[in-house]
């Protein structure tokens, strides 16, 4: 998948690429040896944490998070991606089909300790409403960990960041 040079993708476009994306994402160097390890390192200890993953795709990171003892709600707009995640995870995580443009209405204010967004924010034209919702559902002192592609031509492919609920 490439960043949004041609605008946002539709759920059916994500569905169509779900299987090849999942296979590639599991093993390719950028995901398996750079982005995922860095994201895991920024998340730190997740045992017992109530965690929301947005844009979970086929559930590669979700699988790690539940194995590490987090209680995970994982969300994606693509039914195809979620079907692959379900195959992998069964009932070990709560998997929801939802569009981030519609907000995180399924969570109460301050309900989660951690939110993680691995390589999804760059698919959204306007991050503001999603960041507002992430802020709303995080408990005070909770953290938001995200990774995103940087614009083409900048020399890097992926940027990583973390912020706490106190910074917006």
Ligand X SMILES: C[S@@+](CC[C@H](N)C(=O)[O-])C[C@H]1O[C@@H](n2cnc3c(N)ncnc32)[C@H](O)[C@@H]1O
Please report, as ranges, the residues that interact with ligand X according to CB under 6 A. Answer: 1, 14, 25, 55-57, 60-61, 76-78, 81, 99-101, 118-120, 123-124
Nearer to ligand X, 61 or 138 (CB): 61
* Pairing mode of beta strands 94-97, 71-76: parallel
Q: Which residue number, 49 or 145, has a Cβ lying nearer to ligand X?
A: 145
The nearest distance, CB 89 to ligand X, in angstroms, is: 13
Residue 68: CB atoms within 10 Å: 16
Q: H or E segment at 87? A: helix 79-89
Residue 132 or 166 with smaller CB distance to ligand X: 132
* Distance in Å, CB of 80 to ligand X, minimum: 8
- Taking alpha carbons only, the member of 115, 141, 104, 132 closest to residue 52 is 115
What is the smallest separation between the CB atom of 81 and ligand X, expressed in angstroms? 4
Nearer to ligand X, 82 or 138 (CB): 82
Cβ distance 127 to 134 under 8 Å? no
Q: Decide if 36 contacts 118 (C-beta within 8 A).
A: yes
- The radius of gyration of the chain from alpha carbons, rounded to an integer in Å, stands at 15
Q: Based on the number of CB atoms within 10 Å of its own CB, is 147 exposed (0-12), middle (13-18) or buried (19 or more)?
A: buried
- Give the residue closest to ligand X by C-beta: 57
Q: Which lies closer to ligand X via its Cβ, residue 12 or residue 166?
A: 12
Q: How far is the CB of 49 from ligand X (least distance, A)?
A: 18
CB of 153 to ligand X, least distance (A): 19
């Amino acid at each position: 998948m490439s960043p949004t040079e041609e605008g946002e993708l539709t759920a059916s476009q994500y569905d169509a690429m779900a299987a090849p994306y999942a296979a590639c994402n599991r093993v390719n160097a950028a995901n398996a040896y750079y982005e995922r390890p860095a994201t895991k390192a920024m998340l730190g200890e997740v045992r017992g944490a109530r965690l929301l993953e947005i844009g979970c795709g086929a559930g590669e990171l979700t699988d790690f998070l539940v194995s590490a003892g987090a209680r995970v709600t994982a969300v994606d707009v693509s039914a195809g991606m979620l079907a692959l995640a379900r195959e992998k995870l069964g009932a070990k995580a709560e998997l929801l089909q939802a569009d981030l443009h519609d907000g995180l209405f399924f969570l109460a204010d301050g309900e989660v300790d951690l939110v993680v967004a691995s390589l999804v924010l760059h698919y959204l034209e306007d991050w503001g409403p999603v960041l507002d919702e992430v802020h709303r559902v995080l408990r005070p002192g909770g953290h938001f960990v995200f990774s995103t592609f940087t614009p083409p031509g900048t020399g890097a492919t992926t940027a990583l960041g973390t912020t706490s609920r106190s910074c917006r």
